[in-house]
Structure 1
Amino acid sequence: MNSASPFESPAESPIGDPMGGADTVIPRPVLITTAEGCFVLRHDTVIASDPAFEHAVRWLRGALGPAMRLTLLPGPRGPGTIQLVRAADLAEEAYRLQVTSGAVRIEAGGPAGAFYGAQTLRQLLPPEAFRAGPLGHGPWSVPAVTIADAPRFAWRGVLIDVARRFLPKNDLLRYIDLLAMHKLNVLHLHLTDDQGWRLEIKRFPRLTEVGAWRRESNVGAAVHEKYDGRPHGGYYTQDDIREIVAYAADRFITVVPEIDMPGHTQAAIAAYPELGNLDESLPVGTSWGVIDNVLNVEDHTIAFFKAVLDEVLELFPGDYVCIGGDEVPKEQWRDSPAAKERMRELGLRDEDELQSWFVRQFTEYLIACGRRPYGWDEILEGGLPRGTTVASWRGTFGAVTAARLGHDVVTCPFTEVYLDFRQSGDPAEPVPIGSIISLESVYGFEPVPSELTEEESRHILGAQANIWTEHIDSVRHLDYMAFPRLAAFAEVVWGPRRRDFADFRRRLRSHERRLEALGVEFRPESGPRPWQTRPDAPGLARDFAEVNARVQEWTANIVARYGWPRT
């Protein structure tokens, strides 16, 4: 690899930038070789493309046109052109990119690979190429380089919690572009929770009429019992969702919806009290943490949520639908005559088995509808039907167990990739919660647990970073918590297992200029800027010893209960 080679500029001095270029790409390509020289983009540069790569061509025109005043019209293949060519020897997401003084050539195994090649091409340009308007008039140069690239994992995801804090549609579309820029391909939308229901369901309009609004929110960690006295709400119409899904699909991102149940459901119960276990009306939740109010286990509630899922399936065409299944308090079921009767009817030992029965109503329903159910690792505890995928968040125990039982897994341990956790021990970190998850620790995350054999490891589809938003109340704060850690995560799930953090930090200096050009308010390496602090919102910091003790307690309880989770 000749990563230090300079490139020569032609006499007309095309615009280049030492902070851009071939050796600054994130995520780092698998193989990269630089050379001398450059390709100059001019007003008459054309794109010659395989018809199947129209998505990549359309995106490239839209991305480069505003900043560079280029039209990039279609034209014949030849000298001075950008060429997108299908390569039969490459996998769907793989690409090769070769830049010489005569042409830019992207060879790809499929449309997704062509798109990722186009994303890399943009990063080879100066950071000004990421702006929405021109700073100069060109011409623009791309350094000579040869790249061969393909992702390590099929699932390269990010969860954004829009239930706790509604993210307006345009801000969500912006985040889809940021995910695409980093070659991430799954957006897990946490659409429902105790504190808000964000998806229009035509059959049950009160889910958004009532459930999409709460009267106030906790300020900082719930233990401090501070509230802002400010209503919060919003939801996506079904046409909004169709637009979001289509926009993401154009960027080769699959949107996975989550309808969380039977816990995290107070917003739904507030809208339709008959779904709950109490003979009283409840408000939409206003405090954070695990709330005791859960769905009842009666037939009408099962039918209600199957009807909800019917509309979800129409809106989200992807294979995966998340049904949650996490953090379900059992107190109300223990006190419920209907729950006790259900357990007697089914011959269940206790409320833990009742939860497993409840989850099965929906995993089996989704499988019958031709979809793949997806849920948090608690759904393992009573056994799962084949075809269910597990999101392992409580350490690696769920991932190891699920893989050994033959289930596919997405790893997302809260000790390593929860991006709402504080980023350093600096007391100025905004709303410092959880243990420290630094940029370096995210970069050091390994999605495949070391306990698995090579064969078992095939069940690890990939990983996702989770951004829970209880304490992230603006898109500026979302930027701060997500970046640059999300750039580090993107490199983890894209590139080879062996990585170099020092090299990543070097490239990140250039990448931050791209983020600045896009208006992303990332966290500086030196710590939060004054306006990024939140002295009004006290957090609840934890150390790793406390966090690890909690994981061990969860694991011990599961093993003691089941010996080993059953199929």
Structure 2
Amino acid sequence: MKKIFLSCLTLLFSVNLIAQPIAVDKIAIAWNLLANHYEGKNQFIASFTIHNQSKQSLPANGWKLYFSYPRKVTQVLSANAVLQTINGEFASLTPSTNFKALAPASKAVITYVAEGRSFTYTDAPSGLYLVFDKEPQKAYPIKNFKVNAVPTTEKASLKLSPALIYQKNEAISNGALSDSKLVLPSPISAVKLTGQFLLNAKTTLVYDDFFSNEAKLLQQDIAQFLGKKLMLAKQDVKQVIILKKVNGLSKEAYQLKVKPDSIIIAATQTAGAFYAIQSLKMLMPLSVWKAPQTQITIPAIEITDEPRFAYRSFMLDVARNFQTKAQVLKVLDLMALYKLNNLHFHLNDDEGWRLEIPALPELTQVGAKRGHTLDDKQNLQPSYGSGPDTSAFPGSGFYSKTDFIEILRYAKARHIQIIPEIETPGHARAAIKAMDARYERFMKAGNPQEAKRYLLRDTLDKSIYKSVQGYHDNVMNIALPSTYSFIEKVVDEVMAMYQEADAPLKTIHLGGDEVPAGVWQKSPAITQLMQKENIREYDDLWYHYLAKANTILKQKGLYLSGWEEVAMRKTKLDGKNQYIANPDFTSQNFHAYVWNNVWGWGQEDLAYRLANAGYKVILAPVTNFYFDLAYEKDADEPGLYWGSYVDVDKPFYFNPFDYYKSAKEDLQGNVLDKSILKNKERLTAYGQSNIVGLQAQIWSEKISGPQQLEYMLLPKLLGFAERAWAAEPIWSSATDSLLAENHYKQDWNWFVNLLGKRELPRLAYFNGGYQYRIPPVGVLKENGLLKANMQLPGFTIRYTTDGSLPQASSPVYTKPLADKGNVTFRAFDSKGRGGRTTVAGL
């Protein structure tokens, strides 16, 4: 009996050890960047430090640390662990035979070398969690994780100097705003009149029935501003707002006349009336956005306006990291206020499928969830720091059919068309894994025919490839009839949602980008297709796919949109690969969204080449319109930087029809050597007629919630809105460089003053407030004094002299300070929210 008791006790103790071998919440891990350019090469050295703060030992083996990491590790110098990329950026750290058990209070350092560079905390590993071999399905998140992305030896190169920030801001002056220049984007004509209109409870709203939707929205806005709705009338009365239908104006054009006795909005189409209302709201004092007013004073003015580009779009990626329906509606409100009319909705990618398709439930049951997994059968692997929990936002989440229909209706009322993107055939890992789950479900049910109906991969395919993002299993097989059945089924279901919402749908964006080399080359299905269709080159499979996808959309009354690759053909010149405009589809109304103009990569003129060849082109350049890129080169500034740095001025000074003039900085933020543009193709008059419009993008790899989204989006979006709507400025077309420079300085000063004194203070309260970026303060040491300035006049600069973080109650900077002690500066908005700090002398 004693032996049996001891055996049971031993078994119980073992089970307890298996259940939780160590208190993981007491494990602290730090990641440290040690140095870039290690050994003089394009590589860096970094380390993990594991600190066991628990009362138990971390064993020498039997566990694995998982995390997300965008860099490829080439060597572990400490030789005590193995670092491995599993798929995409999903990676693991496994203790080697040299790893010693980690006793309580002790530390282990794992030092390694990785390819490339590490410039910001965005580059660090994320989403760490432990898994023990004895319990492989259970994951333990590392809650105590710290990042040191700025080694002392590299502060000068990784931190933007206060003096450089000051220098960039020196040309900005603190100027008064004219009543005739309060509307953004700026109208074609705005003439100040005498007097003002007093909007109060006695004001009456009169409108043509044609504008009933716009009148309803205006009434809702004013009810919020005044605390009560306006009275409605069918005929002119005193103190009136009139929405009047007139003939002869273009679709989005309007006329707005504010006089002491009336406000008259005239438009031919409903969109024009809606945009007039947005301009009217911008004329109102900022106080209306903070709390209801008893009376609102609006300056008398006459505005005539219409947009420069008919297509003004913002792309929101919710696949990599999800955004809630409420946040999408908030983005739509922002777009509407600044007269953007298309939301390009990036709904799926390798890391997530975000739209419910009722006929294919696995798309969201599997493809909308990320978390710890050994096989991707129940959910997708973690990525972009989403960690092990399958229910955690923003790695997991999707829009139900009801959600999506609500979003469509909301957008339609605000004259925004939603363009859904269904990524094919690459960037499709979420869809592929979801359809694998569907395949297994029906195979288990003994129904192989139904199992294969929407299968997206050749089960016999032995091809080896690696996508740009590091995946080896993310491309649909375009030889399978089931792939096209899948595309058609999804398109049909999406169209049905648009029909139920009574929302316009003219195109579906099918992605089409970044299909890697090597894909399909060992697929029996592809071999059979090439023999049947007499396709000689693997690259030519691309045109076969596009033709079939185009046929599916055309039969449904839609045209095909895609990234630039849908308009390109790969060929050879002197034995080297070269991309040219593909003549096959120039007559098919393909709309190509062209992002690649990275200065120095060789494709700077791609958008112009495609437009000149006859393709409809949307300009979406990474150098100016990728808002997920960091504002500036500073280790504490969030965002990526692979294609450029994008501050507020980049979208503002973009020149659509000659963007070589806009080329100012290289990839590192240094002055660009413009000789690289010498022989690039320029936009012809015919090509100019094929530029459909402009689009800004936010990819969400490093955006983990609404606050980060708004930080990256604002105030960049406002410069984009100005460039997409406003008439071409003088500085954009002037051939005299001095004239152009002077006019640009004037416009830039107007713009930053408007942002700092009107637009961002408005957005601090609109919709509960947007978490826009507050720029850091520039500081210059001169003659024993510290001089401070800021990019956006209107914000308050505060400081401390004891090294503490400045607060909204800290002293206000009003004049140069004596250069003594540790002076820290920080800018604050009207609500007391502060930006990033600047330490004098850093």
TM-score by length of 2: 0.57
Give per-residue Cα distances to partners, 1:153-173, cap 9 Å, x unaligned.
Answer: 010000000111111111101
Distance 1:397 1:278, change over 3 A: farther
Counterpart residue number, 2:151: none
User: Aligned with 2:519: secondary structure?
Assistant: helix
1:392 aligns with 2:551: no
Query: Which one has the largest radius of gyration?
Result: 2
Residues 1:356 and 2:514 aligned together: no
Comparing 365-374 and 518-527, the one that deviates more: 518-527
Q: Aligned-pair distance for 1:241? A: 1.2
Letter in 2 for 1:289: Q
- Cα gap change, 1:227/1:180 in structure 2, threshold over 3 Å: closer, same or farther? closer
Identity %: 32
**Aligned partner of 2:715 among 484, 488, 508:** 484
The reply on whether 1:375 has 2:562 as its aligned counterpart is yes
- Aligned pair in 2 of structure 1 residues 291, 242: CA closer, same or farther (>3 Å)? same
The one of 308, 314, 336 aligned to 1:152:
308
In 2 relative to 1, CA 53–375 (structure 1 residues): closer, same or farther, beyond 3 Å?
Answer: same
The farther-off stretch of 171-180 and 226-235 is 226-235
Q: Which amino acid aligns with 2:405?
A: R
CA contact (8 A) 1:288 1:470 kept: no
Cα 1:94–1:80 shift into 2, 3 Å: same
Deviations 1:439-465 (Å, cap 9, x if unpaired)? 111111123346222232111110100
Hey, what does 1:334 align to over in structure 2? 521
* Counterpart position of 2:277: 118
Structure 1 position 352, deviation (Å):
1.8
Instruction: Tell me the SS of whatever aligns to 2:548.
Output: helix
| Structure 1 residues 227 and 148: alpha-carbon distance in aligned structure 2, compared to 1, 3 A threshold | closer
Cα 1:454–1:130 change in 2 (3 A) is farther
Tell me how far apart the structure 2 counterparts of residues 429 and 61 of structure 1 sit (CA, whole Å): 41
Alignment map for 1:294-309 (pairs within 5 Å): 294-297=475-478, 298-309=480-491
Task: Verify the 8 A CA contact 1:404 1:456 in the aligned structure 2.
Answer: yes
Out of 448, 457, 464, which is 2:657 matched to?
A: 448
1:438 and 2:438 correspond: no
- Counterpart residue number, 2:211: 53
Show the counterpart of 1:101: 260
Task: Tell me which residue corresponds to 1:87.
Answer: 246
Q: Which has the higher contact order (CA 8 A, sep 6+)?
A: 1
- Structure 1 residue 328, shift from structure 2 partner: 0.8
Is this contact kept in 2: 1:479–1:522, CA < 8 A?
yes
Q: Report the secondary structure of 2:329's partner residue.
A: helix
Of Structure 1 and Structure 2, the greater strand share is in: 2
Does 1:190 pair with 2:346?
yes
Q: In 1, Cα distance between the equivalents of 2:606 and 2:210?
A: 40
**3-state SS, counterpart of residue 106 of structure 1:** strand
Contact persistence 1:127–1:517 (CA under 8 A): no
* 1:478-508 Cα distance to aligned partner (Å, 9 max, x none): 1100000001000000001116222211211
1:259–1:400: structure 2 CA closer, same or farther, 3 Å change rule?
same
Please list the CA deviations of residues 495-547 of structure 1 after superposition, one character each: whole Å capped at 9, or x if unmatched: 011162222112112111111112011111327989977xxxxxxxxxxxxxx
Q: 1:176 aligns with which of 295, 308, 332?
A: 332
1: CA distance, partners of 2:253 / 2:688: 21
Cα pair distance change 1:390/1:200, threshold 3 Å: same
Q: In 1, distance between residues paired with 2:326 and 2:770?
A: 14
Question: Using the alignment, how far apart are the partners of 1:20 and 1:138 within structure 2?
Answer: 25
Look up the SS of the partner of 2:237 in the other structure: coil
What is residue 458 of structure 1 aligned with on the other side?
689
User: What CA distance in whole angstroms lies between the structure 2 residues aligned with 1:513 and 1:192?
Assistant: 35
Read off the aligned partner of 1:291 and give its amino acid letter. Y
Whether the 8 Å CA contact 1:163–1:192 is kept in 2: the answer is yes
Contact 2:628 2:639 in 1 (8 A): no
Code of the residue aligned with 2:430 in structure 1: it is A
1:561: which partner in 2? none
1:515 equivalenced with 2:763 (yes/no): yes
The answer to whether the 8 A contact 2:342-2:418 is kept is yes
Q: Could you tell me how far apart the structure 1 residues matched to 2:520 and 2:485 are?
A: 19
Could you tell me how far 1:20 is from its partner in structure 2?
A: 9.5
Q: Provide Cα deviations, 1:80-102, integer angstroms capped at 9, x if missing partner.
A: 10011112121110011111111
Where 1:119 maps in the other structure, the secondary structure is: helix
Kept in 2: contact 1:380–1:398 (CA 8 A): no
Q: What residue is the counterpart of 2:357 in the other structure?
A: 201
SS at match of 1:421: coil
Report the CA distance between 1:392 and its aligned residue: 1.0
Partner of 2:634: 426
Moved more, 23-32 or 146-155: 23-32
Could you tell which deviates more after superposition, 64-73 or 100-109?
A: 64-73
Question: Could you report, residue by residue, the CA deviation over 1:328-370 in whole angstroms, capped at 9, with x for unpaired residues?
Answer: 1132311222212222222223222112211221122111211
Bigger mean CA deviation after superposition, 172-181 or 83-92: 83-92
Looking at structure 2, the residues matched to 314 and 352 of structure 1 have their Cα atoms a distance apart, in angstroms, of 34
CA contact (8 A) 2:354 2:398 kept: yes
Relative to structure 1, the CA distance from residue 403 to residue 167 in structure 2 (aligned partners, 3 Å threshold; closer, same or farther) is: same
Tell me how far apart the structure 1 counterparts of residues 237 and 384 of structure 2 sit (CA, whole Å): 67
Partner residue of 2:411 out of 248, 266, 291: 248
1:455 corresponds to which letter in structure 2? Y
Post-superposition CA distance 1:171-215 (Å, at most 9, x none): 101110000000000000000100000111122110111111111
What code does the residue aligned with 2:551 have? Answer: E
Contact 1:372 1:387 in 2 (8 A): yes
Residue 26 (structure 1) aligned with residue 184 (structure 2): yes
Match in the other structure for 2:401: 238
Taking a change above 3 Å as real, the CA distance of residues 397 and 349 of structure 1, as seen in their structure-2 partners, is farther
Q: Give secondary structure in 1 for the equivalent of 2:622.
A: coil
C-alpha distance in 2 between matches for 1:20 and 1:191: 42
Distance, in Å, in 2 between the alignment partners of 1:120 and 1:445 is: 23
1:42 to 185, 189, 200: 200
Contact 1:20 1:124 in 2 (8 A): no
CA–CA distance in structure 2, aligned partners of residues 327 and 420 of structure 1: 19
More helix by share: 1
Q: Aligned residue for 1:502?
A: 749
Is 1:292 aligned with 2:472?
A: yes
Q: Is the counterpart of residue 163 in structure 1 residue 319 in structure 2?
A: yes
Q: CA deviation at 1:50?
A: 1.4
Taking structure 1 as the reference length, the TM-score comes to 0.84
Query: How many Å separate the matches in 2 of 1:106 and 1:226?
Result: 49
The residue type paired with residue 240 of structure 1 is D
Q: Deviations over 1:289-331 (max 9, x none)?
A: 2533211121111112111111122223321210000011132
Which residue in 2 is equivalent to 1:276?
457
Tell me if structure 2 keeps the 8 A contact 1:326–1:377. yes
> Equivalents in 1 of 2:760, 2:416: separation in Å?
23
CA distance in 1, matches of 2:639, 2:611: 35
Moved more, 265-274 or 255-264: 265-274
Per-residue Cα deviation, 1:371-418 (whole angstroms, up to 9, x for no partner): 121100001124325121111111254422332232211110112200
Match of 1:416 among 624, 645, 649: 624
Contact 1:416 1:445 survives alignment (8 Å): yes
Specify whether residues 403 and 431 from structure 1 end up closer, same or farther in structure 2 by C-alpha distance, changes over 3 A only: closer
> Structure 1 residues 225 and 68, CA, compared in 2 at 3 Å: closer, same or farther?
closer
- Which amino acid in the other structure matches residue 235 of structure 1? F
Greater shift after overlay, 343-352 or 505-514? 343-352
Kindly tell me: are residues 490 and 424 of structure 1, through their superposed partners in 2, closer, same or farther at Cα, counting changes over 3 Å?
same
> Residue 774 of structure 2 aligns to which amino acid in structure 1?
P
Provide the C-alpha distance between the structure 2 equivalents of 1:290 and 1:446, rounded to a whole number of angstroms. Answer: 34
Q: 2:384, 2:701 within 8 Å by CA — same for their partners in 1?
A: no
Relative to structure 1, the CA distance from residue 452 to residue 266 in structure 2 (aligned partners, 3 Å threshold; closer, same or farther) is: same
2 CA distance for matches of 1:532 and 1:526? 6
Amino acid aligned to 1:474: G
Structure 2, gaps ≥5 residues long: 1-175, 374-382, 437-454, 499-503, 570-583, 598-603, 660-681, 732-746, 778-825, 828-832, 837-842
